[in-house]
A = this chain, B = another copy of it.
């Protein structure tokens, strides 16, 4: 394409990593028990939302890079906050490594994410970040309902 770059591949990665830092902070704020049990309106506890995010980011990217269209599996079986934080931290360098393997030229190619969602790769990646913001915001409301102040939305470092 001949148009100017409005957002570089590296800028998008840094944007995502900033969001991951904020999501990690949000996870840290939860008391152990509430993380696995607290819910509003029949929604999932924050631990399950985090497991959804974990089962999308690294496995989704790995699928894109290795061209494997395996279904996702949100049931990761992580049962403590320490386990969730450890998986989050273990995934971050893998995410960076996998993301860096996607050629810029491929961002407009279709990929059938998890064997189910056939969209251009840029669109799949935007979805990962959007979905993380969406579920983390749910966590913010849970924290407020628990009387706990969430992190600042702009704290991404």
Question: A residues near B, CB below 8 A?
Answer: 1, 3-9, 11-12, 15, 19, 40-43, 103-105, 107, 122-123, 126, 130-131, 133-138, 140-147, 153
Instruction: Identify 11 new A-B residue pairs, CB closer than 8 A, beyond the known A4-B104, A6-B122, A135-B137.
Output: A4-B105, A6-B104, A6-B107, A7-B107, A7-B122, A11-B122, A40-B141, A41-B144, A130-B133, A134-B136, A137-B141
The answer on a CB contact under 8 Å between A144 and B43 is yes
Interface SS majority for chain A? helix
User: Once the chains are docked, how many angstroms separate the CA of A153 from the CA of B135?
Assistant: 11
Instruction: Please measure, in the bound complex, the distance between the C-alpha atom of A153 and the C-alpha atom of B127, giving whole angstroms.
Output: 10
Known interface pairs A40-B144, A126-B15, A144-B40. Does A1 touch B8 (Cβ–Cβ under 8 Å)? yes
10 closest residue pairs by CB, A with B: A41-B144, A137-B137, A4-B104, A6-B107, A41-B145, A141-B141, A133-B133, A134-B137, A1-B5, A6-B9
User: In the complex, are the beta carbons of B153 and A134 less than 8 A apart?
Assistant: yes
- Listed A/B pairs (29) with beta-carbon separation below 8 Å: A1-B4, A1-B5, A3-B8, A4-B9, A4-B103, A5-B6, A5-B107, A6-B9, A6-B104, A7-B7, A7-B107, A7-B126, A15-B126, A40-B40, A40-B141, A40-B145, A41-B141, A41-B145, A41-B146, A42-B144, A43-B141, A130-B133, A131-B153, A133-B134, A134-B137, A134-B140, A136-B137, A137-B141, A138-B140
